[in-house]
Amino acid sequence: MKLAIGSDHAGYEYKDFIVRYLIKEGHQISDKGPSGIDSVDYADFAHPVAIDVEEKHADLGILVCGSGNGVCMTANKHKGIRAALCWTEELGALARQHNDANILCLPARFISKRMAKRIVNVFLSAKFEGGRHQNRVNKIPC
């Protein structure tokens, strides 16, 4: 699977951890940065991930910041993006199954790396169920 991933400084260590894990699992990763823990603005990294997903250069995206909110709000400004803030495995699965989410947003300051990896696994393996959920997803865009 082709995945785009980015973070801010608060999510950098999680992003790096997830990138290394996903490469070992055989995924193609486009790491949009940052390259370290120096303070940065989350939007500078969330927009490139959203653009990759929006333009179909990536199948899905993953974003990480301290609360997950900043990257989620930023990504959701893009047409066709359904970014979901998830802090449990169940939320990660439901975001894909019911909302056809195409970007996973993780709150680094509120979950462990182990939990982040578990949420990523569930998010990547879950499939959109369509059916009654499709009509709801169709109503999301303005």
Active site residues: 65, 98
> How far, in whole angstroms, is CA 31 from its chain's centroid?
12
For 64, the token pair is: 């990480």
Backbone angles phi, psi at 84, to 5 degrees: -125, 130
- Rounded CA-CA distance 96/82 in Å is 10
For residues 74 and 17, is the Cβ–Cβ distance under 8 A?
Answer: no
For 106, the token pair is: 């993780």
